Amino acid sequence: MKELWLGAPVGEAQYVFLLPNEPILPDGCDASFLRQPDIALLIELNGNHWRKILTIMAKLTTPNYANWKVFRDNDLLNRIGITFSLDSLQGYDGPLFIVGKTFFDRLPIPDSAVKLGSGNAHFASVCWPYIWCPYLDYRQFPNILIESLRECILEKSCLKR
């Protein structure tokens, strides 16, 4: 069985998000939908939970932070890939967001990683090209952490420490 992949394919994705849980997909969805998913339909099928996930992805990766909402609705899944399995990452060597704790056993955070955030509750770790981050929910991933991580990955400021 082929692993589920949403959005930009491995060879085109500027960023990839490795998530622990797959969304509900529309009945009869095909390769065309998986390549260019309808954001509004994903949100409709999966509720506010997936709206938050896609919003945080957009805020982290948009070229222009002031326009993250337009980016989310129109360009996000043309620029990023979303997968739910490490096995589907063959051939991808760009920035990888490892979301939540599900994959920590297979992709542990190295001691050399730069830690961003405050305390143990809200933090992310970066050891380029890997970015370990909390689950994409505002309780675990507040805007201040989004902004700090965004600065790190877009300006590579965390790599200069």
The pLDDT tens digits for 61-109 are 999 999 999 999 999 999 999 999 999 999 899 999 999 999 999 999 9
Write the single-letter amino acid at 58.
A
**pLDDT recorded at residue 161:** 46
Q: Kindly state the helix (H) or strand (E) to which residue 154 belongs, with its residue range.
A: helix 143-155
Q: Could you tell me the strand order of the sheet in which 80-83 lies? A: 5-7, 80-83, 15-18, 96-99, 130-133, 122-127, 114-118
What string of DSSP letters covers 19-62? Answer: -SSPPP--TT--HHHHHS--HHHHHHHH-HHHHHHHHHHHHHH-
Per the prediction, the chain carries an average pLDDT of 91
Q: Which two tokens stand for residue 109?
A: 């955070």
**pTM beyond cutoff 0.85:** yes
Q: Rounded to whole angstroms, how far apart are CA atoms 120 and 32?
A: 41
DSSP-derived 3-state class of residue 18: strand
Q: Are 104 and 25 in contact (CB under 8 A)?
A: no
The pLDDT, as a whole number, for residue 1 is 40
Task: Check pLDDT > 70 for residue 157.
Answer: no
Flag the least confident range among 3-7, 64-68, 135-139, 156-160.
156-160
What pLDDT is attached to residue 124? 94
